[in-house]
Structures are given as structure tokens and as C-alpha cells.
Structure 1
Amino acid sequence: MAKILMKGNEAIGAAAIKAGCKFFFGYPITPQNELPEYMAREFGKHGGTFVQAESEVAAINMVYGAAGSGARVMTSSSSPGIALKQEGISYIAGAELPCVIVNIVRGGPGLGGIQPAQSDYYQSTRGGGNGDYKLVVYAPANLQEAVDLTMEAFDVADQYRNPVMVLGDGMIGQMMEPIEFKEPKKREIPKKDWATIGTKGKRKPNIINSLRLDPGELEKLNLRIQDKLKEIEKNEVRYEKYNLEDAQLVFCAYGTTSRIVKNAIELLKDEGIKAGLIRPITLWPFPHKAFDEIPESAKGILTVEMSCGQMVDDVRIANNGRLPVDFFGRMGGIIPTPQEIVSKAKEMLGGAK
């Protein structure tokens, strides 16, 4: 199959169309604007419906309604826009509805700037809204992975009746790379007998709701959601191990930062220092077991992020006190360089080779 050169935001939109998405509701914000622009131009050609809502709050509630009908539906935004959607995302999770949410992250807090960042890790992996729920969170490191994971996200959302987020920093949205559209692995998708598509006089009406005033009923819902999340943790963890054998230092990084770390690993190799990488592909569920595979040769773990160190909490939990854990990061939209990462790695190793 021939590869196509595409911009990240547009490639994600094309992947959603290929995955059978039928509704897109969004609102413009940099650096994800090309995604809704692409959907506005192309979606109708494939039987899809595009709506630019009057706000992010409106967009996510439109997602709620379309998801309740059983249709495949997506929204996209960037950091402060995703923050505005959190109430609706919590409603969708509480109503156990499938949808896909794309966040092309920019620097914060507040309106921040339009340059790439990874400072939405907490927001994404801790639910973000009120109540006890989690999103499945994918973190692609390149555009091919962004396409593959977007297509898979729709199946995962349908399989577990749970929102799924594709989390990419601004570089994922703005860079161009060659991609191809491959079929995701086949899954057994349950019949959507819960959808509100009309009874035709053959059954009782389905009700989509997250409001349960009886505490016993609300606890039953929460227990069901927690059981579902345990299934996701058992079945959906994804990660990459890179160059771990005999590593003196193990990096942990995700998204495009992991690509910069791989360059740093090559620079360290030139200086006689062996380093490897654990790259979470699912930020939730986090790949805790990957850290059991760190070799005895390792003297420490260095987490590298475009944030003040949010994933480092999960790294410390996964490490369980076995090795020293340190952090290097840049914020505000500044991208770390391989040379900066090398300097921090050598500092952590005490200058040893």
C-alpha cells in the first residue's frame, strides 16, 4: 500500500473517517485547528456530519447525544478547550457511552501558549472531571501511530462503552510524515442494544443518563465501571521497550519526547554509556509491569517530559522504590534537546561511563 504524506491533524481526521466515525463536534483552538478544518471539508463526502459548536461545552454535550444513539462520534480540542469539556466527559463516562476525544496539547496553565507540551498528563490520566472514572489514553509518538491508535480507539470505546482519548502534543498535530491506513485488529464489539434509536413498539425505551439519586444504584454503577476498568487494565496495556539490555540508565518518556530521548540514547552510546527506554503507549492504563523488566545493570530511571514532571509520579509507583528516579523536563512549549537530556543523564550517573 502506498504511503501518503499528511499533516498530523489531518491524518487523525482521515483515520477517524476510515474507522467509521459519523459525527464530529468541535470548536477551533490552536494547535489542532487543521483537524476540524479537515473534517469540515472532507466529512460530508463520506456520509459524516460536522458541526462547529458555539463552544467547547456545547461540543462535548453534542458528543454525549450522538454517542447515546450508538453512532461513532469524535471531538477534538487543545488543553484549555479539553478543560472546558471535562463536565461533559464525566457525564459520558457516567452514562457508559463510547466516544473518541483528541487532545493536541499546548503549554499552560490557563490559556498558556500555542507551542507543544505534555502538561495535560494529570488531566488525561486521572479522569479530569468529577467522580470515579478513567479514560483510556493513547500517546502516539509518530503520525503512523497516531493514525493506527485513532482507528483502534473507536473499537476500544465501543468494546468497553468508555471514552477514549488520543493525546498528542502540538508537534503531533503540526508535523508531516508519510502514513498508510491499516485495518486495526479485529475485536468482538458488543451489540449496542442500549442505544436510543427508537423502540419501534418492540421493547421498553432505553434511557441514557448519569444521574442516579439513589445511593445504592449509584454505587452499583460505580462498581460496574470499576470492574470494566480492571478489564481494560488487564487487556489494553501498551508500551515499547527500547535498548534495555545491559542498560546503565533507563529513560521513561512518551509521545514525541520519546523520539528525542532515542537520539540522546545514541549520543550516550557514543560516549560508552548504555541507556534504554520504556515508552508508555497507553498512559492509562499505565504499563507498570514494564518496569519489572528493567535489567539489574540499571542504576536509575530518568523520566523526560515536556512538563514539570507529571508522569514521574506513575514511574515512581511502578518502580516501587527499587531504583533512584529523577526527572528532566522543559515547560511552556520549549522542546528538550538530546544534548540537554545527555547532560542530565551523565549528571544522574555521577559522570560514570
Structure 2
Amino acid sequence: MGEKILMKGNEAIGEAAIRANCQAFFGYPITPQTEVAAYMAKKMPKLGRVFLQAESEVAAINMIYGGAGAGARVMTSSSSPGISLKAEGISYIAGAELPCVIINIVRGGPGLGGIQPAQSDYFQATKGLAHGDFNLPVFAPSSIQEMVDLIQDAFDVADMYRTPCMVMGDGMLGQMMEPVEFKDRQKRELPEKTWAATGLKGRKQHNVINSLFLKPEELEEHNYKLQRKYEEIKKNEVRYELYNCENEVDLIIVAYGTTSRICKNVVKMAEKEGIKLGLVRPITIWPFPVEAFEKTIDKTKHGYLAVEMSCGQMVEDVRLVVEGRKPVDFYGRTGGMVPHPEDILNKVKEIVGGDK
């Protein structure tokens, strides 16, 4: 075991990116993730790497496009409204097939909202991040340790598939402190970046980074190529945790991120009252872990309960994969309010009733 260091979530993000060989960070401050940029401002220049606070989120994401196009490992970080401002650039990056890592430490919304924890960017991250036919892998850690591990994985996945990747946490993960171990990780065999715009380097023609295809036949084929890539990601990069799902249970809770930690306590509380609960925890929210539901659908008597810090977003994906085979209920808090274990347990009792 390596040494554990007590770190604030946002600073651990920066350190994880540095250890993953991030060469450039372009960002713009917005709470509750500003410490990511502050940490990178302090550390990156000392390592001979690039830190640049752009004049806006729009500028920052376009700098990411340029850095990624030159073959560098690059990262940006923001919170909900900032991600909205970066949306056009993220679509360009996906269209041009450029690898990068985007951090979103979610705040409550809509509009300016508040800086307390929320999960109300689920739709944005997984379905409507920007214009056009594209997706990007979205990792949703539940602890600072997992966030550190997934940031390092996200850089590898980005390089492997030439895609932007998002790591999505919330204000709780960004602001709290936990012990973190920076582990030696097994290195992936990553393809060489022969496509990067780095000058001729012996080639007869320059590499061109582009997402513009004026002929509709060419654009359609490019979109189909992207879809084939997304199918590969669905096959190879889905991650989830099954908790207490080995045997038949009364109900299975579905929760991700910090909400899943609260729900693990609910599982223990329910057990004391004679109610058996399981938990499906998506670690990738795109691709959504369909397999986790195929493995558990016959083990739950009363179906599933999606618990989220939103008005109900992930619950739609749960209903899609369950396909009406079992009931799917929802419990959520929004606007920065965190679900309380007792309230979730009351919802469980309401669903399970006297017929356990």
C-alpha cells in the first residue's frame, strides 16, 4: 500500500491529472470547482507544463481543441453553467475526434442556481451536451479516491478512442477532504497519435484537424464512424458496482456519485428493520450499465428505486433498460438539498409496504 494523503477533492483532481501526465490546463474560475484551477496554476508551471486562465469558458474549450489537436494531454474544469458555455466547443472536439478530459463539479440549477451539491446535469452530460450526433464517456465517482482513479482512466480512455471524456462530481466531492492514495496504475497500450497536427515530420501532407464535411454523404459516413466508436466504448468501458445484490431482495436502489454513499447507509438501516435492499451504482453514466439490470432484474421483488439529487433524470434511463418488466420508482431532492437516509428509507417502506 502506498502513502495516503489527506486532500480536498478539487485539489486531488489537479494532482491526479498531473500524475496522468496532463500537459496543459485551460480553464476559467467558477464555484464550486475553482480550487482545481488554483491548484493547477500553482503546480503546472513548476513542472514546465502549461496553465492558462482563459478570458472565458468559450475561450478555454477552444484552447483545449488546439492543445488536443497538437497531440498533448489536456484538461479543462468547470461547473454547470460553465459546461453549458463550453458546449459548442465540446461538440467540435467530439466531431474532430480529439482526446481530452473535462471535469464538471455540478452545482444546483437551472440558471445561476447555487453552489450546493446537485446531480441535475445528468441529462446535459449523457443526452444533450451539445449539437449533433455524439456522445462522450461520463465517469461518476462516489469518493475522492475513486475520482482520482477515474481521472487517470479518463485520460487513457480519451486517448484510446480519440474522444472527450467527462468526470462528473458534485460540490460535496469537490469541497470535502478524504485520504487519497495515488497508485501505480497498469498502463494501457495506447495508439500513437499519428493524426496530430504537429508539422510534416517526414509526411508528404500536413495532418488536418476538422469536423466540417460539406458533402452530406461524407458527413453521414463520419457520423456512422463515430457511432461505431461509441458501440466499442459501450462494449469495453461500462463500469458499475452491485452492492448487496447476490441474493433476492425486496427492492433495489439505483444511485450514483455521492448519493450512492447515502444509499449504502439506507441498505444497512433497512436490514435492521427486516427489509432487504440492494444497490446498483452506475460508475459510468454514459455508457449506462444495462448489464447491471439484466443481472438483477430477477432478484428484486418490488423493482427499482432511483435516488438522485435532481427532479428525476437518471430514472428515465432506469425505466428504459427495465422495459416495464418491474416497477421503477423515484425519490429525489433538488436545488442543493441532499437526500436524508431516513427520508429514503420512508420511501422504501412506502413501496415495499407490509408485503415484503
- Residue 192 of structure 1 aligns with which residue? 193
SS state at 2:89 partner: helix
The number of residue pairs the alignment matches comes to 353
Indicate which of 317, 322, 341 corresponds to 1:319.
322
Q: Deviations over 1:185-206 (max 9, x none)?
A: 3322111010011104533101
SS state at 1:106 partner: strand
Any conservation in 1 of the 2:33–2:79 contact (CA below 8 Å)?
yes
- Residue 349 of structure 2 aligns with which residue? 346
Any conservation in 1 of the 2:305–2:328 contact (CA below 8 Å)?
yes
- Residue 340 of structure 2 aligns with which residue? 337
Any conservation in 2 of the 1:138–1:165 contact (CA below 8 Å)?
yes
Shift of 1:217: 1.1
The 2-side partners of 1:278 and 1:196 are apart by 42
The 2-side partners of 1:27 and 1:168 are apart by 18
The 1-side partners of 2:189 and 2:59 are apart by 32
SS state at 1:85 partner: helix
Equivalent runs, 1:1-353 vs 2, <5 Å = 1-244=2-245, 245-294=247-296, 295-353=298-356
SS state at 1:103 partner: strand
Q: Deviations over 1:101-156 (max 9, x none)?
A: 00000000011011010000010011511000001000000000000000110000
Any conservation in 2 of the 1:302–1:325 contact (CA below 8 Å)?
yes
The 2-side partners of 1:185 and 1:322 are apart by 39
Distance change >3 Å, CA 172–CA 196, structure 1 → 2: same
SS state at 2:108 partner: coil
The 2-side partners of 1:104 and 1:297 are apart by 33
The 1-side partners of 2:40 and 2:68 are apart by 18
Q: Deviations over 1:37-70 (max 9, x none)?
A: 0000111122221000000000000000000001
Distance change >3 Å, CA 297–CA 206, structure 1 → 2: closer
Shift of 1:277: 0.1
Q: What is the root-mean-square deviation in Å for CA atoms of aligned residues?
A: 1.0
Unaligned 5+ segments in structure 1 are: none
Superposition TM-score, scaled by structure 1 size: 0.98
Q: Provide the identity percentage.
A: 65
Shift of 1:34: 0.5
Shift of 1:214: 1.0
SS state at 1:21 partner: coil
The 2-side partners of 1:17 and 1:203 are apart by 35
Any conservation in 1 of the 2:252–2:300 contact (CA below 8 Å)?
no
Shift of 1:247: 1.2
Any conservation in 2 of the 1:127–1:135 contact (CA below 8 Å)?
no
The runs of 4+ residues in structure 1 deviating greater than 4 Å are: none
Unaligned 5+ segments in structure 2 are: none
